[in-house]
Structure 1
Amino acid sequence: MSEQSKEKQTTAEYTVLRRLRHNGDKLAPGKTVQLTEEEADRLIALGIVKAAEKPVEKTKSGGKNQGAGDPPKE
């Protein structure tokens, strides 16, 4: 594959499951790496990476009484 067509491929983020050397970088389990779909398919089949999980969006809390009606009377 030519260098130009490699650059045009889109990438996605994957989580490393087993030690991986990619583009000269050594990656430990738990790290993330950007891979093309072709690279990822091969590494997923070997059990070396998996699709990265998207972080869970946290909701902002306005305080401990938010949404609980009136605060208790003392």
Structure 2
Amino acid sequence: MAVLELTRVMTLAPAFFTGRLSVSGFRSRPTTYYLFEQPWSFLFNLLFGIGEVLLIGFIVWRCLDIAIRGRIKP
């Protein structure tokens, strides 16, 4: 999971600075969004990607914490 999240971060970080985001889905072709051509689509996909990284990162962090400590904190 950590490697997957790291690849997502490595995709989102340059997109934030360059204004070019490449998105591909399970059953769709890769699509490139440009900030100046499609600002709302670019921002939606960028924010959705950041939210996904944060949510999955939190879940992975909690699972790792439980595995190391051997118990769930209240």
With structure 2 as the length reference, what TM-score do the two structures score?
A: 0.30
Quick check: which has more Rg, 1 or 2?
1
* Structure 1 or 2: more helix by fraction: 2
Higher strand residue share? 1
